[in-house]
Chain A
Amino acid sequence: MSGSMPILSLTTFLPLLGAVLILILKGDEGSVARNARYIALWTSLVTFAVSLVIWFQFDRSFVGFQFEEKTAWLPLLGISYHMGVDGISMTFVMLSTLLTPICILASWEAIEKRVKEYMIAFLGLETLMVGTFCALDFVTFYIFFEAVLIPMYLIIGIWGGPRRVYASIKFFLFTLAGSVLMLLAILAMYSITGTADIPALMAYGFDPAIQKWLWLALFASFAVKVPMWPVHTWLPDAHVEAPTAGSVILAGVLLKMGAYGFLRFSIPMLPEASAYFTPLVYAMSVVAVIYTSLIALAQEDMKKLIAYSSVAHMGFVTAGIFSMTQEGLEGALFQMLSHGVVSGALFLCVGVIYDRLHTREIARYGGLVHRMPKYAVVFMIFTMASVGLPGTSGFIGEFLVMVGVFKDNTWVALLIATGVILGAAYMLWLYRRIIFGELVKEDLKTMLDLSLREKVIFAPLLLLVFWMGIYPISFTSIFGPTVTDFIQDYGPRMEAVAADPAATNP
């Protein structure tokens, strides 16, 4: 399947090359900052262009891994550098390479100090994100997955808001605590099977009795990353304190790593345990959807509100994944992509007015439509997409998830459907408070509408929101066949357990 060129490694490590180039920049501060910005932008654009090759060369009818690369790394231990993408991971690679140049553009003027380090951190982060989604060896995956903490810790901690230290340490420790438990699960799987190769582990079939422990250990890591209620508390802090671009990447890509983990590891490797714990996941998803939506209603900080909405939207994703139906899984994947674009865009919308007024307090705004009509339109489109208006990307994802979950469990579907209503409530209310009303505050009267740079940032996201909403088949055709195959492979084993939970007991 793979061409002669190691396209995945190229996509993964190209940003790192750019980071090294920035690292060796010398000169006075102003010129270094300018050069760092341009190098970072061009590197990320070239990376995106390279990743487009993956998009176009990807064989949509083929299920299984494509563009595979494999090199022995620790031969004695059977650990290799193994890369490859399938219909599930390919879209996340694209999402990462798309959002990074947008983030770099969004930080163009917002980041004024230590630009060089900032750009290095961002490009390094891109390498790690792409690597996480491409890795087909559990150890390689873990290295990428865990190393993400380093640049993100620095991005929040150095360029963040007033409570950045608290937020960055909380983010680091929460994620690390989950990850080390996953590490134990990896070690246990490795000592049982003698391999860390993901395709081999997916085919292995672990003893159901041991699966439960392994599943819980993996769950600890992915649930924190998604994040699921009740381990979501790091997310609002991290989002509020992170710089705009950091929030975009956090919501757009990093949260998806958790859900990706469920799809790549928990269900395929541990289907029996996954079936056994499905009620738990449903319960946590329902609580996440309803409870965090209610919390979002009470927020006075824009970023915090969107952060809580992220938790709610990711609740849809986890419910959809564990419904194990074609619609549910496709919906979850679609919702993740849509959320990546929409929540990223919403954080960028907050960033636009934050850059002008340096506050995120909702009450400080109002009546912006009079001064910033273009901004009002853009913000409205993304608000609608977040609410799930038909014709936008948000609708497809939420609708498919609800159909899928309904097939599996009516009550869960009913409960998460209330989240759609609550979502509309908090998002529309947020929009009303910021955009509509009288323009009475003095400092708002001088605000400027979107600049050219900001328009350039929003244009591709707007395009995507409508493309995904109007012609979703461009995306579902990528992961559709993989999902069908996925359900055929693991569905029956999960159903057997669902029918008779006692079967998993030793």
Chain B
Amino acid sequence: MNSFIDLNLGLARPEIFLAIAALALLVIGVSLGDRHTRLIAWASVAALVIAIVLAISDKADGLAFHGLFIADDFACYAKVLSFGAAALAIIMSLDYAEREGMARFELPLLMLMATLGMSLMISANDLISLYVGLELQSLALYVVAAIKRDTIKSTEAGLKYFVLGALSSGMLLYGSSLIYGFTGSTSFSVLAATLTGDAGLGLIVGIVFLCAGLAFKISAVPFHMWTPDVYEGAPTPITAFFAAAPKVAAITLFARVLVGPFGDLVGQWQQIIVFISIASMILGAVAAIGQKNIKRLMAYSSIGNVGFALVGLASGTQEGVSGLLIYMAIYVVMTTGTFAVILAMRRRGEAVEQISDLAGLSRSQPGLAWALAIFMFSMAGIPPFAGFFGKWFVFLAAIQAGLNVLAVIGVLASVVSAFYYIRIIKVMFFDQPTEAFDRVTPTLRIVLIATVFVISLGFIAGSPFFDLSANAASVLFAE
């Protein structure tokens, strides 16, 4: 009965491959030493690319590891997204790491391990596997946040992230144990089958703790406090990584948990999501206005963006989850591109990160300025850039679900947030130029061209991508 075949290992091909690749590269890294970091990094990128291919080719759906692990279109979509984001983040970290003297071979490997954790989170079909995946991801992330261990900011970021992350894990575990105590199962499939209609108070408390734990991971208000400090303190490529891949994994996990096992209790959790969505949108919009450091600004921007994505989840419908997926995919591209620009902000070899350092960029480096302007307009939701379509789909879902107040608050928050986005454009285009930045490195240039292309022209051929997202979301609702 417990034979090896029953495990259905084939369904977990990308994860198994990533695990083996990470361990093998670790051995290679140890024997080669830090001088070959670039090789290890590119090998990690290659491993992620292969994992993407494994995830999409010859795809089969079903349960593995005796129901702990699920492979479906939804998981596939989220995995491709987070693997891609992680690969881009590793590529972007290369030049930075070498210049800042943190080019250790552990860096790409830890990012690879974190990505493996994300992949397990995305495919979790049980509270236990959810926790295991989440911890694998988080522990790797704590270490990369503090990877520049000789600077006080980076270590502070790592420590802060660890303490608060541990607290959130505790809450998540507590919630899981309550859910297990009141239902007798940790399996999503069993929970989905048994939970119908009414929920007892104990179960609801459990769900609330679970939501709180997950809200920490996606940095939604009121569990966002760590974000600005960690974003500012961590080395910039690491911040770029934090802002993209883990967010995708955590938010898709969030969607799977709420819609899957607790799908019938939508009336219970919907108000929680509506609240954290509104709070995140407003805080992300208002608190960013006073920021002078662009990484801190991006932290608040990411809080706001998570709020917008959660509008989709709050509607609790298939259209909503589809909107969430579309929003996150577009967000990942925008945010990666923005961080590529931030990484290019170097003067005479020193990284600068004040918004005022961007002054007059449109004259000294017009290409870079236009790229950032496009990302900022896109984040503000101005068509025809991709960010508009993300907002379109989440708000469409909210309106269809009758959440009109949420939609109105959401669009007004987007106007407030537009202020700080266009203020960056103002600094770049209207202010007097200061000293130019160093030449943009070739790898960053490639990342920038690709992301600008997707964001500015993606709408022309967006149709297949929207269909794909709708299809991925439909899996969660297929009963």
A residues near B (Cβ < 8 Å) are 73-77, 114, 117, 139, 142-143, 146-147, 149-150, 153-154, 157-158, 164-165, 168-169, 172-173, 176-177, 180-181, 183-184, 187-188, 190-191
Query: CB within 8 A of B396: which of A177, A180, A187?
Result: A187
Query: CB within 8 A of B411: which of A77, A172, A181?
Result: A181
How far apart are B452's CB and chain A's nearest CB, in angstroms? 13
Residues of chain B in range 70-123 having any CB-CB distance to chain A below 8 Å = none
Q: How many A-B residue pairs have CB under 8 A?
A: 84
Which residues of the partner chain A approach B429 to less than 8 Å between Cβ atoms?
A: 154, 157-158
Contact B426 A168 (CB under 8 A): yes
How far apart are B430's CB and chain A's nearest CB, in angstroms? 5
In the complex, whether B13 has a CB less than 8 A from a CB of chain A is no
Contact A147 B418 (CB under 8 A): no
Which residues of the partner chain A approach B384 to less than 8 Å between Cβ atoms?
A: 143, 147
In the complex, whether B423 has a CB less than 8 A from a CB of chain A is yes
- Per the CB 8 Å criterion, the residue count for chain B at the interface is 36
Query: CB within 8 A of B383: which of A117, A147, A188?
Result: A147
List 29 contacting pairs A-B, 8 Å CB cutoff, sorted by A. A74-B462, A74-B463, A76-B467, A114-B363, A139-B392, A142-B383, A143-B383, A143-B388, A146-B388, A149-B382, A150-B382, A153-B422, A157-B429, A158-B429, A168-B426, A169-B422, A172-B418, A172-B422, A173-B422, A176-B380, A180-B414, A181-B408, A181-B411, A183-B392, A183-B411, A184-B399, A184-B407, A188-B399, A191-B396
Question: 6 other contacts beyond A157-B426, A177-B412, with CB at 8 A cut-off?
Answer: A139-B392, A149-B382, A173-B415, A176-B415, A184-B404, A187-B395
How far apart are B431's CB and chain A's nearest CB, in angstroms? 8
Contact A184 B408 (CB under 8 A): yes
Tell me whether A169 and B426 are in contact in the complex, defined as CB-CB below 8 angstroms, given that A76-B467, A147-B382 are known contacts: yes
Cα–Cα distance between A198 and B366 once the two chains are bound (Å):
39
How far apart are B316's CB and chain A's nearest CB, in angstroms? 15
Say what secondary structure dominates the interface of chain A: helix
Residues of chain B in range 416-439 having any CB-CB distance to chain A below 8 Å = 418-419, 422-423, 425-426, 429-430
Tell me whether A157 and B415 are in contact in the complex, defined as CB-CB below 8 angstroms, given that A76-B466, A146-B383, A150-B382 are known contacts: no
Contact B411 A184 (CB under 8 A): yes
Which residues of the partner chain B approach A190 to less than 8 Å between Cβ atoms?
A: 396
Smallest Cβ-Cβ distance to A77: which chain B residue:
B466
Cα–Cα distance between A74 and B462 once the two chains are bound (Å):
8
Which residues of the partner chain B approach A143 to less than 8 Å between Cβ atoms?
A: 383-384, 388, 459
Query: CB within 8 A of A180: which of B377, B412, B459, B463?
Result: B412
How far apart are A289's CB and chain B's nearest CB, in angstroms? 29
Cα–Cα distance between A312 and B400 once the two chains are bound (Å):
39
Cα–Cα distance between A152 and B392 once the two chains are bound (Å):
23
B residues near A (Cβ < 8 Å) are 362-363, 366, 377, 380-384, 388, 392, 395-396, 399-400, 404, 407-408, 411-412, 414-415, 418-419, 422-423, 425-426, 429-430, 459, 462-463, 466-467, 470
How far apart are A76's CB and chain B's nearest CB, in angstroms? 5
Which residues of the partner chain B approach A187 to less than 8 Å between Cβ atoms?
A: 392, 395-396, 399, 407
How far apart are B36's CB and chain A's nearest CB, in angstroms? 41
Cα–Cα distance between A154 and B366 once the two chains are bound (Å):
14
How far apart are B113's CB and chain A's nearest CB, in angstroms? 38
Contact B383 A76 (CB under 8 A): no
How far apart are A442's CB and chain B's nearest CB, in angstroms? 33
Which residues of the partner chain B approach A169 to less than 8 Å between Cβ atoms?
A: 419, 422-423, 426
Smallest Cβ-Cβ distance to B400: which chain A residue:
A191
Which residues of the partner chain A approach B426 to less than 8 Å between Cβ atoms?
A: 157, 165, 168-169
How far apart are A128's CB and chain B's nearest CB, in angstroms? 10
Smallest Cβ-Cβ distance to A154: which chain B residue:
B429
Question: Which among B366, B383, B404, B467 has the highest number of chain A CB atoms within 10 Å?
Answer: B383
How far apart are B277's CB and chain A's nearest CB, in angstroms? 16
Contact A146 B382 (CB under 8 A): yes
Which residues of the partner chain B approach A183 to less than 8 Å between Cβ atoms?
A: 392, 395, 411
Cα–Cα distance between A77 and B400 once the two chains are bound (Å):
14
Which residues of the partner chain B approach A146 to less than 8 Å between Cβ atoms?
A: 382-383, 388
How far apart are B423's CB and chain A's nearest CB, in angstroms? 7
Cα–Cα distance between A188 and B470 once the two chains are bound (Å):
20
Contact A157 B430 (CB under 8 A): yes
How far apart are A313's CB and chain B's nearest CB, in angstroms? 28
How far apart are B422's CB and chain A's nearest CB, in angstroms? 6
Which residues of the partner chain A approach B404 to less than 8 Å between Cβ atoms?
A: 184, 188
Q: Kindly list the 5 A-B residue pairs having the minimum CB-CB distance in the complex, ordered from nearest.
A: A180-B411, A143-B383, A191-B400, A157-B430, A177-B415
Cα–Cα distance between A149 and B407 once the two chains are bound (Å):
22
Cα–Cα distance between A442 and B459 once the two chains are bound (Å):
58
How far apart are A201's CB and chain B's nearest CB, in angstroms? 15
Tell me whether A75 and B463 are in contact in the complex, defined as CB-CB below 8 angstroms, given that A142-B383, A187-B407 are known contacts: yes
Smallest Cβ-Cβ distance to B460: which chain A residue:
A73
Which residues of the partner chain B approach A158 to less than 8 Å between Cβ atoms?
A: 429-430
Cα–Cα distance between A176 and B388 once the two chains are bound (Å):
12
How far apart are B223's CB and chain A's nearest CB, in angstroms? 27
Which residues of the partner chain B approach A173 to less than 8 Å between Cβ atoms?
A: 415, 418-419, 422
How far apart are B323's CB and chain A's nearest CB, in angstroms? 11
Smallest Cβ-Cβ distance to A189: which chain B residue:
B399
Which residues of the partner chain A approach B380 to less than 8 Å between Cβ atoms?
A: 176
Which residues of the partner chain B approach A165 to less than 8 Å between Cβ atoms?
A: 426, 430
Cα–Cα distance between A73 and B458 once the two chains are bound (Å):
12
Smallest Cβ-Cβ distance to B415: which chain A residue:
A177
Cα–Cα distance between A76 and B474 once the two chains are bound (Å):
14
Which residues of the partner chain B approach A73 to less than 8 Å between Cβ atoms?
A: 463
Which residues of the partner chain B approach A177 to less than 8 Å between Cβ atoms?
A: 412, 415
Which residues of the partner chain A approach B388 to less than 8 Å between Cβ atoms?
A: 143, 146
Which residues of the partner chain B approach A142 to less than 8 Å between Cβ atoms?
A: 383
Smallest Cβ-Cβ distance to B396: which chain A residue:
A187
Tell me whether A191 and B430 are in contact in the complex, defined as CB-CB below 8 angstroms, given that A74-B466, A76-B467 are known contacts: no
Contact A76 B463 (CB under 8 A): yes
Which residues of the partner chain A approach B362 to less than 8 Å between Cβ atoms?
A: 117
Cα–Cα distance between A147 and B456 once the two chains are bound (Å):
12
Which residues of the partner chain A approach B425 to less than 8 Å between Cβ atoms?
A: 153
Which residues of the partner chain A approach B366 to less than 8 Å between Cβ atoms?
A: 117
Cα–Cα distance between A190 and B399 once the two chains are bound (Å):
10
Question: Which among A117, A150, A165, A190 has the highest number of chain B CB atoms within 10 Å?
Answer: A150
How far apart are B443's CB and chain A's nearest CB, in angstroms? 25
